[in-house]
Amino acid sequence: MALVPHAAQAATGYPDPRPITGQQIIHDPTVARLKSGGYVAYSTGGIIGARLSKDGRQWDDAGNAFAEPPSWWYEYNDTADPWAPDLSYRDGTYWLYYAVSSWGSNHSAIGVATSKSGRPGTWTDHGKVFTSERTDTFNAIDPAIVRADGRLWMSFGSYWTGIRMVELDPSTGKAEAGATVHHLATRPDAPYAVEGPYIVKHGRHYYLFASHDACCSGVNSTYKIKVGRSTSVTGPYTDSTGTPLLEGGGDLVLEGHGRYIGTGGQSVFRDKGEDWLAYHYYDAEDDGTPKLGLNVLRWTKNGWPVAR
């Protein structure tokens, strides 16, 4: 991506997102550079809302991933409203994971669809990957895929004691039968406000990014992005002080500053040898409208990510 980090720094030391034009409104973005050229971003909103860009600067509305909601979505949401997609590529196929649920409930499901091009309107849905019920202590939303040592894993979770992980069958993209539900991160006190995990490999470590505190309240949102790392994809994850993420640890990567309120719903993507952080923020100069934030991630000598 021909992206140049925005040099201006806020007084707090957190960087502003790089300037973009066109359709900036987005929530919970997942971004990728397509094999065919250009970029796509999918998000919460619509039937998995889509944006396309030729250069990563000008973004255009591209409709939705699906023309119609798969019928099974209505089991979890009266309006078939999907949340927090995750886009990945492996074995010549794009995989789009997403969640369907309703606010304040862990009667939730994660689904998956595939496409050869990754473009909106080309997706075939394959149904449920993993589910949670009201009797569970976790919430099956906010999926994110990572490969580790030849195996495929999905992190997920929101409140309900935090971030979890299950192993997937690479052939189907769905949870292994009887898969162990690993526990990766939580907060010390209810409501355990951590969600939206995303894991990337850098060097010998796996890095777990997660959104802490509250989203979805416009300029009153308190979302912030934190990170911890582990030499094993299933943890334990700790921050730079050694505090476990299972005990509320996490180094701040990005939080609200200036007009950019409630930074979170993040994902990470590679482009031309660099890691980029994609997230939404609530624009204090536009009535708290959620918009796309993009910042390059640099890595310190000690191996910690820093947004630039």
Active-site residue flag, 195 = yes
Using the structure block, give the residue that is written with the tokens 């473009």.
119
Contact 106, 140 (CB under 8 A): yes
Measured from the Cβ of residue 82, the count of other Cβ atoms closer than 10 Å reads 28
| Angstrom distances, CA of residue 10 to CA of 27, 111, 183, 224, 291 | 23, 39, 35, 15, 18
The full 3-state SS of 83-126, as one line of letters, equals EEEEEEEECCEEEEEEEECCCCCCCEEEEEEEECCCCCCCCEEE
Write down the catalytic residue from 16, 195, 251, 255. 195
| The two structure tokens encoding residue 23 | 């359709």
Q: How far is CA 148 from CA 82, 204, 278, in A?
A: 27, 11, 22
Rounded Cα gap, residues 208 and 250, in angstroms:
9
Instruction: Give the DSSP letter of residue 193.
Output: -
- Which of 16, 28, 86, 167 is labelled catalytic? 28
Is 125 assigned a catalytic role? no
Question: Nearest 5°: phi and psi at 142?
Answer: 60, 60
Q: Is the peptide bond before 191 cis (omega within 30 degrees of 0)?
A: yes
- CA dist 303 and 150 (Å) reads 23
- Active-site positions read 28, 195
